[in-house]
Chains A and B, each alone.
Chain A
C-alpha cells in the first residue's frame, strides 16, 4: 500500500510540474499582469482529497521546488511568490476541507485556495518591494481568481469521478 501511495504522489507531482509549465504558456497576463490559471493547484488538491493533508503538502512543496529548479527561478522572487501563495492557499483549502466540508463543495474549497493564494503572494510582494500601493492590485487578482477557482474546482470533481476505485478520494 505504501509503495502505491509513493507512486501516486510522484505521479501527482509530475502532473503538477507539467501543468505548472503549461500554464506559463497560456498568456493570461494581458488581462492582468501576473495572473495565472492555477492549474498546478489541481495536483495538490487531488493529493489532499485522496491521501489527506500531508500528501497534498508534499506534492505542493515538491512541485514548487522542482518547478522552480526546472524553470531556473529557484530562490528568486518568483520562487518566493509561488511558495508563499501556494502554502497559504493550501492551508486555506485544508481548513475548508477538514472543517467546512459539509457546507462547501470542491468548488468553494478551490475558490478559497485561489483567493488565499493571491493574498499570500501580494503580502510577499509587499515585503519585497515595500510599497503598500501593491494592495490596490489585490482586488483585481481576486476577481480573476473567481472564474479560475471555479474551473479548478470543477476539474477536480470530474477528475475524481474518473479515478479508479482503488485510488479514489473521498466522495465529492
Chain B
C-alpha cells in the first residue's frame, strides 16, 4: 500500500473517492426509491376495451365500496353491463342478442391473467398490476 501511495497524487485519491461514493450512491438509490414507492406500485387496474379500441382504466381500489360499481359499455349488439365489486370484476349482463353469452359465464376475475372477452359485442376486460407475480402469459 505504501508503494502504491508513492504513485498516487492527491487528485488521484480524490478521484478514487468520488468514484466510490458515486457508485455506492448509484447502487443504493434504486433500493431507497423502491422502498418508498412500494405502496404506490402495488396498485392494480381493471382495463376495459370496447369496440372503438378505447381502453378505460379503473383503479381496483375504487371498487371497495358498499355498492358494486356498474359500468355500461356499448357494443355492436347493445349495451353490456359490467360490475366491479371488492376487487373483482365480471360482465353481469350481456345484451339479449348475444348468442352464447360466454362473457357472462366467465364469471368473476380478480387477478391478472384471466380475462373476460365478449367477441360478438367486442368487449374485453382484464386486470393488470405492476408487481404481478407473472412476467408474461401465453396461450
Contact = CB atoms under 8 A, between A and B. Distances in A.
Given A136-B30, A150-B4, A154-B4, A142 B9 contact: no
Nearest to A111: B15
Contacts of A145: 19
Given A154-B4, A154-B7, A104 B15 contact: yes
B54 to A, nearest CB: 28
A150 B3 CA distance: 13
A88 B4 CA distance: 27
A140 B30 contact: no
A70 interface: no
Majority secondary structure of chain B interface residues (helix, strand, loop or mixed): helix
Interface stretch (B20-28, B41-49, B64-72, B87-95): B20-28
A85 interface: no
B12 A111 contact: yes
B9 A103 contact: yes
B4 A139 contact: no
Interface in A120-161: 136, 138-140, 142-143, 145-146, 150, 153-154, 157
A85 B12 CA distance: 22
Interface in B55-91: none
Interface in A91-124: 100, 103-108, 111-112, 115
A143 B23 contact: yes
A139 B20 CA distance: 9
A141 to B, nearest CB: 9
> 3 tightest CB-CB pairs across the interface, nearest first?
A139-B26, A139-B23, A108-B12
